[in-house]
Amino acid sequence: MSQMMYWEALRRAHDEELSHDPLVIVMGEDIGIAGGTYKATQGLYDKYGPERVIDTPISENGYTGLGIGASFVGVKPIIEIMSVNFAWLATDQIINTAAKVRYMSGGQLEAPVVIRSPGGTAHQLGAQHSARMEKVFMGIAGLRVVTPSNPRQAYGLLKSAVRCADPVFINEHELMYNMKGEVPDEEFFHPLEGSEVVRQGRDLTLFGYNISVHWCLQAAEVLSKEHGIEAEVVDLYALSPLDREGIKASVSRTHKAIIAEEAEAPVGVGAEVMAIFNEECFFELDAPPIRVSAANVPIPYNHKLEKAAIPSARDVIAAALSLFPGKH
Spatial separation of the C-alpha atoms in residues 160 and 303, rounded to whole Å: 38
Indicate whether 86 belongs to the interface with other proteins (CB under 8 A): no
Of 164 and 319, which has the nearer Cβ to other proteins?
Answer: 164
Catalytic residue numbers, as ranges: 60, 129
Task: Return the range that interacts with other proteins (CB under 8 A); candidates 125-133, 157-165, 171-179, 224-232.
Answer: 157-165
CA–CA distance, 78 with 83 (Å, rounded to integer) = 15
In 3D, which of 159, 161, 130, 156 has the Cα closest to residue 144?
161
Question: Following DSSP, what letter does each residue of 267-319 receive, concatenated?
Answer: TSHHHHHHHHHHHHHGGG-SS--EEEEE-SSPPPSSHHHHHHHS--HHHHHHH
The verdict on 108 binding other proteins (CB under 8 A) reads: yes
Q: How far apart are CB 241 and other proteins at their closest, in Å?
A: 9
Nearer residue to other proteins within complex by CB, 65 or 208: 65
Using the rule CB under 8 A, give the single segment among 60-68, 176-184, 221-229, 293-301 that binds other proteins.
Answer: 60-68
- Interface residue with other proteins, options 188, 267, 278, 287 (CB under 8 A): 188
Output the DSSP codes for 112-178. Answer: --EEEEEES--SS--GGG----HHHHTTSTT-EEE--SSHHHHHHHHHHHHHSSS-EEEEEETT-TT
How many residues make contact with other proteins (CB under 8 A)?
56
Which residue type occupies 196?
E
Options 190, 199, 214, 255; binder of other proteins; rule CB under 8 A = 190
Interface of this chain with other proteins, residues 242 to 271, rule: CB under 8 A: none
Minimum Å gap between C-beta 179 and other proteins is: 22
Is 291 within 8 Å of 265 (Cβ atoms)?
yes
The one among 163, 227, 248, 253 contacting other proteins by CB under 8 A? 163
Residues in contact with other proteins by the rule CB under 8 A: 22-23, 25, 51-52, 54, 56-57, 59, 61-75, 92-93, 96-97, 101-110, 141-142, 144, 156, 159-161, 163-166, 187-193
